[in-house]
Every structure is written in structure tokens, then in C-alpha cells.
């Protein structure tokens, strides 16, 4: 136990001194438990993370020519146009949204719950199957292609960014990067 003692205030009222015992053993036990818990969860956080580097959607330096088995590949994600795969900042391959979306990639759908309250959800009509097919074709054409930059529009939800990066990983392009440069 640790003790704390404060001197008398010296007044004429006869105030008592403040002596107090602090129980340090339970506090140390709590800290040991918290530290061991944090160390165990840190290992699991490291396993579940996705390595990313910050991308740059700007055109590459004119003097730097990519190798013939690798290109500057970019996926632009827009809430109206869908996906656009850009190769070396000149060849564009559009991947429009699904026809069931009525020309829109994102729609807000409101449903009523049994209790009478309204629930609004964002429904995605991005065509990830076609994107995967086109990315696999790019990977077959450029065998050493391992990087892609995902450029997001302002209103594209976080879940769509993650699903786009997962699609790139399925196509064996294993180093996705993210850029928020306007389209």
C-alpha cells in the first residue's frame, strides 16, 4: 500500500490532516490484464490488415517508360458512369453499371420495417463480374502487372472501394493503392 499525507493547513479551525492509503496492487493487476489483452489483439490486427500505399492518379513522368510487361493501370470509380479502366492514361475501357440499376450505380431504397419505421439503404449496381473479367484480361496481356490505382469519386461509399480492391486482388493484381484525385 502507498500512503499520501498532506500537511495541516495551519488554520485556527482545527482541520484534520488528510491521510489516505492507495491500494496499488489491484491497479497493477488491472494494468497487467490490459497489457496482455492489447498484445494478443495486436497480433490479430496485423493478420487482418491490407497493405496499401497511397496512389497517384496523375500522369506518369514522360521520360519514365513502363516495361512491356507492365503498364500504369488505374480504375476510376464514379457514381454515375461505373468503372473506367485506364491504361497508361490514354486507353480507356468503360465498365458501365448493371442494367437493373436503370442507368444509376447507386440507389437509395427505402423500406418499411414491421414496426412502421422507414429504413433507407444504398443499393449498388456496379458490375464487379465484368470488372474482374477485364482486369484478368489486362493481367494476361501484361504478366508482371502487380499494381493498380483505384480512383474514387466523391460520393462513392467505402464499401465500394473495398469491393473494387478485392476484385483487383481476385484478378491477381496484388498491390492496390487508393487515390482520391477528382475524376
Q: How confident is residue 107, by pLDDT bands cut at 50, 70 and 90?
A: confident
Per-residue pLDDT at 29: 93
- For residue 36, what is the enclosing H or E element? helix 24-47
**b/e for 152-161, b at 16 or more Cβ within 10 A?**
bbeebeeebb
For residue 127, the tally of other CB atoms under 10 A from its CB is 19
Query: What kind of fold does domain 53-97+126-179 have according to CATH?
Result: Nucleotidyltransferase; domain 5 (3.30.420)
Tell whether the model's pLDDT for residue 136 goes beyond 60: yes
Is-above-0.85 flag for pTM? Answer: no
Q: Report which of residues 157 and 19 the model is more confident about.
A: 157
Amino acid at each position: 500500500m502507498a500512503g499520501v499525507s498532506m500537511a495541516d493547513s495551519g488554520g485556527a479551525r482545527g482541520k484534520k490532516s488528510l491521510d489516505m492509503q492507495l491500494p496499488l496492487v489491484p491497479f497493477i493487476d488491472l494494468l497487467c490484464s490490459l497489457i496482455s489483452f492489447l498484445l494478443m489483439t495486436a497480433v490479430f490486427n496485423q493478420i487482418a490488415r491490407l497493405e496499401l500505399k497511397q496512389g497517384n492518379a496523375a500522369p506518369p513522368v514522360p521520360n519514365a517508360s513502363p516495361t512491356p510487361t507492365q503498364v500504369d493501370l488505374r480504375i476510376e470509380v464514379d457514381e454515375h458512369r461505373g468503372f473506367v479502366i485506364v491504361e497508361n492514361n490514354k486507353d480507356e475501357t468503360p465498365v458501365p453499371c448493371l442494367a437493373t440499376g436503370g442507368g444509376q450505380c447507386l440507389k437509395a431504397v427505402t423500406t418499411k420495417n414491421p414496426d412502421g419505421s422507414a429504413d433507407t439503404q444504398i443499393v449498388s449496381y456496379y458490375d464487379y463480374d465484368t470488372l474482374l473479367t477485364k482486369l484478368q484480361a489486362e493481367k494476361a496481356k501484361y504478366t508482371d502487372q502487380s499494381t493498380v490505382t483505384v480512383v474514387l469519386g466523391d460520393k462513392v461509399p467505402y464499401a465500394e472501394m473495398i469491393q473494387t480492391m478485392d476484385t483487383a486482388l481476385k484478378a491477381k493484381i496484388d498491390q492496390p493503392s487508393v487515390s482520391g484525385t477528382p475524376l
